[in-house]
Amino acid sequence: MLSLFIFTSTMLALAPGPDNLFVFSHALSHGLKAGLLITLGLCTGLIVHTSLVVLGLGELVGENKLVWQIIAILGACYLLYLAYLSWPKSRSASVMSDLKRGIDVNPSESMMSDFAFYRRGIILNISNPKVVIFFIAFLPQFVQVESDLSTTLQLALLGILFIAETLVVFGGIAVGAGVLRRFAVKSSGFDFWLQRISAVIFLAIALRLFFSLF
């Protein structure tokens, strides 16, 4: 049962979704460190979701439509704001900026603190109420009634294991994007197109989160 949980969790982490796309876009735009900080933020959000499920509060969020809608709308608005920040102002300015700065991609975000990236990961994860519903539906399937461990402890351990797997998988995605970035930044105008791609990714995640309300 544990091996099945590990395999399933890994496949879920690898499947294209808002979180790993978020990690990939930031690591490609801002470097490996930013991608890893986003990953840590996302995993911190998973700790919150795991705690809600373990404490039995997850079902309250899932059953309360108003809470669901407020969380999702706030998350979608935040992602739209990130899309606005990421959209390049002009191609010529972007190309010149790329040539002058070498590897700093987005001038409006190049001075972001480490905590700012970490915070982005947390906000994205906890602003998606579907994650709570997923945990409610997914984790209990692997709870063994005949085990000597209590259901609460089993849920907590499964949540921790899921977070550890997510950390490894998303960390690998960040490393891969960081390596790709080293080759891509050699092309002039790279940041212009990358900023556009990042903005589109943020917009797509925002729309997906918004339409989850219906």
Kindly list the distances between the CA atom of residue 178 and the CA atoms of 30, 85, 98, 186, in Å, as whole numbers in the listed order. Answer: 8, 21, 17, 13
For 64, residues 6+ apart whose C-beta sits below 8 A from its C-beta are: none
3-class SS letters over 110-163: CCCCHHHHHHHHHHHHHCCHHHHHHHHHHHHHHCCCCCCCCHHHHHHHHHHHHH
Residue 56, burial from CB neighbour count under 10 angstroms (0-12, 13-18, 19+): exposed
For 153, residues 6+ apart whose C-beta sits below 8 A from its C-beta are: none
Confidence of residue 111 (pLDDT cuts 50, 70, 90): low
Query: What backbone torsions phi and psi does residue 11 show, to the nearest 5 degrees?
Result: -65, -40
Kindly list the distances between the CA atom of residue 27 and the CA atoms of 24, 38, 63, 104, 173, in Å, as whole numbers in the listed order. Answer: 5, 9, 36, 12, 8
Domain ranges of the chain: 2-8+16-211
Closest CA to 201 of 47, 21, 32, 56: 21
Query: What backbone torsions phi and psi does residue 60 show, to the nearest 5 degrees?
Result: -65, -40
pLDDT at 98: 46
pTM for the predicted model, two decimal places: 0.76
pLDDT at 189: 62
pLDDT, tens digit, 9 for 90 and up, residues 131-175: 877 887 788 888 887 888 888 898 899 999 999 999 999 999 999
